[in-house]
Amino acid sequence: MLPRREFIKGATALAAGAFGMRNWPLALGADARPLRVAAIVTEYRPWSHADVLVGKFIQGLKLDLTPSWTPIPVRAMYVDQFPENDISRALSRQYGFPIVNSIAEAILDDRGEIAVDAVLLVGEHGKYPENERGQQLYPRRRFFEETVRAFQKAGRVVPVFIDKHLAPRWEDSKWIYEKAKELKIPFMAGSSVPLAWRRPWLEIPLGTPMGEALSVGYGGLESYGFHALETLQCMVERRRGGEVGVVAVQCLENEAVWEAMRAGRFSRDLLAAALSRNDPRIEGDFEARCPKPTAYLVEYADGFKATCLMLNGLARQFLFAARLIGDTGLVSTQFWLQEPTFGHFDYLANAIMTLVRTGQSPYPVERTVLTSGILSTAMDSRFENHRRVETPDLRIPYQAVDHALGAYRHPLAANARHGGWIDLFNGHNLDGWRENRFAHEPRWEVLEGVLIARGGQGYLATLEEFEDFELFTEVRITDSGAWHGNSGIYIRCQPHLDRGQEFPPGYEVQCDHNDANNYSGSIYNLGVPGARAPKPKVKDGDWFTLRVLARGDHLQSWVNGDPAADCHDPKNRFTRGYVLLQQHHKTGVVEFRQIRIRRLDAPKAP
C-alpha cells in the first residue's frame, strides 16, 4: 500500500458564516452544462466499494431490464491508497478523468471554484488501523472535513454522499451530521442493502402499528453489522408514529444471546420466521447450530424494542421479520443481494444520481445517522463487558418516506414480475398478505395451489399500495348454509384494525351472483350510474374470472369477460390504497386460483 499522505493535523475551525456559504444551485434548463461528480475513495480495486459504486458513474449501470447508461460522469478522482491490484489508474486512462493529489483538487477548478455537482465519499476497504473495539478506522471524517474545507474556499456547497455508516466512532458521525446541517449540505448516506430485492416482496406500509422486529446478518460484527442494523432500521422506521430515536443499546454474545431469547427479550418465533427466508431454509434447533451468536438489543424512545442478530456459521443472507399489531401472522423477507453480480449497487448509484439531479436525498439521512450511532454503541457495549449503554444523543426523530428507487419497487424489477404483471398470490402460501380477523374465526389456507377462506368475516390485505391498475383473478364462491356465496375484492382500500367495523374505507368490487342490488362485478353501493352490474351468467360453485380496471375516478369490471360495472365516482373518494380479499359469511367459502395486478401509473425506467 502507498498511503497518499497522513491526515492534515491542526485543522482550522469550520465556521460557515465567515465564508458566506450559499446553497447548492441546481443546474437545470436546456443550456445547463452536463452534471459531473468528484469521487473520493480509499482504494479502487476489483470488487471494492469504489469499483461496484463509483464504477457505475464511470462505466454505466443497469436497472434490471433497462440498458446500461452513464448519465453523470466522474470529473476527477482522489485515491488514498493504491494496492497492487489497483484499477483506478487504468480507468483514468481509459475514460479520461484525472487522479489528483488532493480532495480539494477533485472538487475545485484552477480558480478555486466548485467544478462538480456532487461529491462521492467512499471510505471502505484499504489498510487502515483497527481500534480496541474492533472498528476499522476508515478516514470518512477526514474525507468529509477536507470536502467541507473545499466548500468553504469556494463559498458554496454541493450534495455529498457518504458510503455506509458515517464513521466508525459516534462522535465523528455526530460531527459530520451536525456540520452538514450547519452548512445546509444536501446530504445522503448509507449502503445498498435497503435498496436490494426482497424475497418475498415486502414493504411495511407507513404508519403500521408494529409489535416487535428482528433482523439477521452475518460476517464482521462491525463491517457487516452495519448492514444487518440497516436491514432492521429501514423497516422499523415505518412504524406508527415515525422514528423517534433510540434510548439504549446492548450487545450480547454466545450463550447469553440464547438465554436472552429464552427469557423473552426477543421472540424465538420471530427468529424462526426470519430464518425461514434464508436460502437454504433454516429450521429446527438453530441454537445448537450457532454456538457463538451476537445480538444487538435496541430500545427505542417510544418503547419499541428490536433485535439484530449476527449468526455466523448459520445464516448467509440478511433477513428480517416483524409482528404487526392486529395481524394474525408474522411478516418476513430476505434482502437478496443478487450475488455474485451485486446488482443492488446499481440501485444505490441510481439513488445517488437522484440526489445529484434534485439536490435532495430521496430518503432521510437520519436513518444512516441513527444506525451509525447504534452500531458504535453496540461496539462500546461489547468492549465494556456487554453492559447496557444509554444513548441520549440517539433520540433522533424523523419520518420515513416511500420512494420508487429500490430494486424491490422498480417498475421493471425482475423479481417475479414479467410484462408488468405482479402475482399477488404465489400459489403456495400467504406471502405478501396481511390477515385481519373480524367477526367469527375465518381461516385462510392454500391447498393444491388454491387460496381458500372459510369460517366467517375477515380480510387478507396486500402490503403494497396501488393507484391506477388492472387486476385479474379467478374466483369461486359457495355457501353451506341458507346464504348464497358472498365475497368481494376491495380496491384502493385502507385496512382497519377496528373489529367492530365491518367495511373498511375503499371501493368493493362485489362477488355475489344473487344480490339483485349488487351483482358480481358491481361497485358495491356506490350509487352512481353504471356502478350496478347486470346478473352474471354464472352461479354459485362455478369458477369465474373477474377483471377490474381503475384509472382515476373511472372504475370498470368484467365477469367472465362480459362487461359488468362502468362508472365514474364524481367525488373520487379513494385514489390510492391496498387490495383486500373479503371472506364474508360464517358458512361461506371463497376460493382464488390466481390474483395478479398491473400498474398503469408505473414510472418509466431511465
CATH of the domain at 452: 2.60.120.560
Cβ(160)–Cβ(335) below 8 Å: no
Q: Identify whether residues 230 and 347 lie together within a single domain.
A: no
Q: Identify whether residues 244 and 135 lie together within a single domain.
A: no
Q: How do beta strands 74-79 and 99-100 pair?
A: parallel
**Could you tell me if residue 412 is inside a domain?**
no
**Half-sphere exposure at residue 288, Cβ-oriented, CA atoms within 13 angstroms:** 3
**Could you tell me if residue 6 is inside a domain?**
no
Domain that holds residue 327: 199-336
Cβ(431)–Cβ(200) below 8 Å: yes
Q: Identify whether residues 545 and 467 lie together within a single domain.
A: yes
Q: Identify whether residues 440 and 589 lie together within a single domain.
A: yes
- Residue appearing with cell numbers 444513548: 391
Which CATH number does the domain housing residue 48 bear? 3.40.50.720
The Cα 299–Cα 383 span in angstroms is 19
Which CATH number does the domain housing residue 323 bear? 3.30.360
pLDDT digits (tens, 9 = 90+) for 343-354: 899 999 999 999
Q: Enumerate residue ranges in the chain where pLDDT < 50.
A: 1-20, 22, 24-31, 412-418, 602-606
Q: Identify whether residues 43 and 134 lie together within a single domain.
A: yes
Domain boundary among 336, 351, 372: 336
**Could you tell me if residue 398 is inside a domain?**
no
Phi-psi region of 24 (alpha: psi -120 to 50; beta: other; left: phi over 0): beta
**Could you tell me if residue 370 is inside a domain?**
no
99-100 β-sheet, strand order = 99-100, 74-79, 37-41, 118-122, 160-163, 187-190
**Could you tell me if residue 219 is inside a domain?**
yes
Cell representation of residue 71? 448519465
Which three-class secondary structure state does DSSP give residue 312? coil
**CA 178 → CA 93, 172, 336, 367, distances in Å?**
38, 10, 33, 14
Q: Identify whether residues 189 and 206 lie together within a single domain.
A: no
The Cα 34–Cα 68 span in angstroms is 18
Q: In the chain, how many H helices and how many E strands?
A: 12, 28
Cell representation of residue 486? 358472498
Cell representation of residue 227? 448492514
**Could you tell me if residue 328 is inside a domain?**
yes
Q: How far apart are the first and last CA of the chain?
A: 39
Q: Identify whether residues 171 and 108 lie together within a single domain.
A: yes
User: What is the value of pTM for the model shown?
Assistant: 0.84
**Half-sphere exposure at residue 373, Cβ-oriented, CA atoms within 13 angstroms:** 27
Q: What is the per-residue pLDDT for 1?
A: 43
Q: What is the per-residue pLDDT for 534?
A: 96
Q: Identify whether residues 166 and 311 lie together within a single domain.
A: no
**Could you tell me if residue 150 is inside a domain?**
yes
Cβ(125)–Cβ(48) below 8 Å: yes
Q: Identify whether residues 309 and 352 lie together within a single domain.
A: no
Give the residue among 483, 513, 493 at the shortest CA–CA distance from 584. Answer: 483
pLDDT digits (tens, 9 = 90+) for 389-414: 999 999 999 999 998 899 887 654 43
In single-letter form, the type of residue at position 351 comes to A
Cβ(394)–Cβ(380) below 8 Å: no
Q: Identify whether residues 447 and 582 lie together within a single domain.
A: yes
Q: Identify whether residues 210 and 113 lie together within a single domain.
A: no
Q: How many domains does the chain have?
A: 3
In single-letter form, the type of residue at position 178 comes to E
Phi, psi of 82, rounded to the nearest 5 degrees = -120, 100
Cβ(464)–Cβ(201) below 8 Å: yes
**Could you tell me if residue 203 is inside a domain?**
yes
Domain boundary among 285, 319, 336: 336
Q: What is the per-residue pLDDT for 70?
A: 76
Q: Identify whether residues 543 and 484 lie together within a single domain.
A: yes
Q: What is the per-residue pLDDT for 193?
A: 97
- Residue 596: other Cβ atoms inside 10 A: 16
Q: What is the per-residue pLDDT for 472?
A: 96
